Each structure stands twice: as structure tokens, then as C-alpha cells.
Structure 1
Amino acid sequence: MTPSEPADRGRFGRVIVTVIVAVALCFGAVAAGTVWNAGVRADRERAAHRHQVQAVTTGRAEDPPVAVRQDAGPQSVAAAVWEYPDNVRRSGTVQVPPRTPKGQTVTVWVDDAGSPARPPGSTSERAMTSFAGGVSVASVVAALEAGAVVLVRRRIGPHRLAAWEREWEQVEPVWSGRLRRGSGPDDDDS
């Protein structure tokens, strides 16, 4: 089916756009779910090797604070000491709330070796990553589909118009009441 009138082309265009959006949303939803599930697995794995310990700052928090995680407020860094594993004293720079004074006890995340580590992922981080992945995939799929539609229309457009011209040459004289070439005024089809 090839639309020939502007109204038909408009309806056909809306159908094509609707199909493109629907397919892109389906791919985006699948991608978002896949990213979410991968994030859950990665966070579980990371959580198995992360431990919260109490550390004591040995210096004042440095300025300026920076946002380190989406679900955490601004953070600064300060020198601190802690023990992990049990009875093994460690020291290093850890993330602390801004303006944390020297000698303050703070909770920090460490890995199995006792080194400062990033905490397990949060639900909000995973949600944002999943959303971004889904939107990215949906955008790429929609762009590819739209490109394919444009290429197909450019490829079949001239052929469709030529066929329409040939058909119109046969139908127009009868439809409009004009005489055909080679027929005279006394010719009557009845």
C-alpha cells in the first residue's frame, strides 16, 4: 500500500512514527531491565567484599567539598586511621562530611584487604544508570528505524511516482471526460 494523497501520507506518517516509538520503547525497556539486573548482580558481588568500619580522623577535612555519589551529599577527604581486618591498623585518606574536625569518628567502607573502597551501589544510582541505558538504546533504535524508513522511501519513491503516472495516463481521460488521442468527436463508447 502506498499513500498517494496528502491526508493518506499524513496518516501513514503517524502510523510509522507510532511504530518507531513503540519498537524503540520496547528495546529501551529491555535494555533498562538488563542494565538493572546487571547492576544488582554487581552490587551484590561488591557488597560481599565491602565492610563498614569506624575510623578516626587524624587531620581536618580538606576543602572544597565535592559530590562523590548521587545519593550522598557533598564529601571532603581527610586523613584517618582504622583497623581491618581485626587488630591490623591501617591509615589513609577517606571520604568524610565537609568540615569534619581532627579526632572525629567516622564510618568508612573498606575492601577485604582493609583499603578504603567505594561503598556498594545504591538503588538510586542503579535506577539512574538503568534509565540512561534504556533511553540511549531507545534513541539509537529510533534513529536506526527512522533512517531505514527514509532510505526505503527514497528508494521506492521514484518507482511509486512513475507507476502512479502510468496509471493516471490510463484513468485520467476517462475520469475527466477528455477524449483519448486518436478518437474523434463522433466516437461514442455507448
Structure 2
Amino acid sequence: MSTAPAPYRPPATRTPLRRRLRRAFGREHNPLCRPCDRARSRLVLATAAFLIAATLCALLAALVVLHRGQGAASTSGHQRHRITATTLTPATGVVASKAGAPVGTEARASWTYPPAHHGTGVVHVAAGTPAGAGVAIWVDDGGRLVAAPRPATEVMTDAVLTGLGTLAVLGATAHLCRSLRGRVLDRRAQDAWEPAWEQIEPLWSGRHHHGPDGTAP
């Protein structure tokens, strides 16, 4: 009973890491290993090391932005207070952005904060809010209107975007440098191919056993 032949498997084209390291540091004694092959191995290792460093830099940048954002949010959170104001007029008018898109309505309101301070101002309210309604606003320690503290999700989003942006820029730089250096090595290998073939071809074809006219000496 004959057995079916094993399926054909193409030879592996990837150089193992151990051989790559030996080749990069000149420890591989393979006569077929050319200087450009060693340079290419060093390029691969340098690119990998740069990408690892880029990842660490991106992580560090994200942590710095996160730490600063959390610190600023914590400071503003202690200096800003959410209170209830009373509208003095019904909601009127549309507050338009520079692009002309409506973003809300506003009304005049009054509030008391700190206890001895009575403040008034124009606040954003929902459409249809009548006079005498209570609306939530943010004020500082002196009772002046301020924006709401940044939410934790916004701070986290900024940190993530900073990390991804840093990694993208450094990764693109690594890819560009590797591509440019790879082209130089390709041209160098191509230039070295012809003189190497001129030395090997007579031995490979047996022409060194014959004279210039093709006859045996």
C-alpha cells in the first residue's frame, strides 16, 4: 500500500532572530553572507529597537497628558461649584456659532454664591424655559460664571489621542528611514552583483578550463 506524498511546502523566507543577531554582529561565517546582508540585518534590528522606544515614548506622553489633565481637572473642580440659579426672563434668542448653526438658547438669571454675594448674568438654558425656573450653573469661589470642569472621559481621550499620535509620527519616521536605507542597500547589492558574477561565472560554467577561443589549453 503506497502512501500519498507529503504536500510541498515552500522553504521559509524569514531569517530567524538568532541568525539575524549573529549576522548583524558579524558572527555568522556563511561564505554566502554579503556585507549588504549584514547591513540589512542591522537595519532590521535598529528599526525594531526604534519602534520599541517609540512605543515607550508614546506611553510616556500619554501618561504625562493624563497626569496634567487630571491635575487641572482636580484643581478646577475644587475652585468651581455647581449651584442652582433662578431665571429672571424666559428663554429667548438663539445663540449662533460662527458657522451660523444654533447651539442653544439663553436667559437672564440670578444666584447667590457665596452666601453674601448676589450675582446675575446670562446663562444657557433649554428652549422653552420660563422665568422663575431653576437651572444648574457653575461659578468660581467669587461667584462668577465659569465653564464646567472637564469630565474624566475627555481627559482620558486626550491622553489616548496624544499617545496614538506620538506613536503614529514616530512609526512613520521609522518606516521612512527604513525604506530609504533599504533602497540604498538594494542599489549597493545590485552594483556588487555584476563583478561578483564575473568572478563566479567562469568557475560555475567551467570556462576557466578552456582558452579564450573555447578550446582546452
Q: Report the TM-score when normalising by structure 2.
A: 0.64
The change in CA–CA distance for 1:128 and 1:116 in structure 2 (over 3 A counts) is same
**CA displacement 1:86-131 (0-9 Å, x = unmatched):** 2211111223344322211112111122111112211111122112
Q: Conserved in 2, the CA contact under 8 Å of 1:96 and 1:106?
A: yes
Structure 1 SS opposite 2:207? coil
Q: Quote the residue 2:61 is aligned against.
A: 31
Query: Is the Cα–Cα contact under 8 Å of residues 63 and 159 in structure 2 kept in the other structure?
Result: yes
2:161 is matched with which residue: 108, 132, 140?
A: 132
In 2, are the aligned partners of 1:79 and 1:94 still within 8 Å (CA)? yes
Residues 32-181 of structure 1 correspond to what in structure 2 (within 5 A)? Answer: 32-62=62-92, 64=94, 76-175=105-204, 177-180=205-208
Give the length in aligned residue pairs.
Answer: 173
After TM superposition, give the deviation of residue 42 of structure 1 in Å.
Answer: 0.9
Aligned match of 2:27: none
Unaligned runs of 5+ in 1: 4-8, 67-73
Q: Which amino acid aligns with 1:55?
A: A
1:62–1:171 distance in 2 versus 1, CA, 3 Å: farther
Question: 1:15 Cα shift?
Answer: 8.7
Q: Report the secondary structure of 2:75's partner residue.
A: helix
CA gap 1:61/1:178 in 2 versus in 1, 3 angstroms:
farther
Q: Distance in 2 between matches of 1:98 and 1:28?
A: 44
Gaps of 5+ in 2: 1-23, 25-35, 97-102
Q: Distance in 2 between matches of 1:122 and 1:151?
A: 44
Distance, in Å, in 2 between the alignment partners of 1:63 and 1:17 is: 59
Root-mean-square deviation (Å): 3.5
Pick 1 or 2: higher relative contact order, CA cutoff 8 A, min separation 6.
Answer: 1
Q: Residues 164 and 62 of structure 1: is their aligned pair in 2 closer, same or farther, counting only changes over 3 Å? A: farther
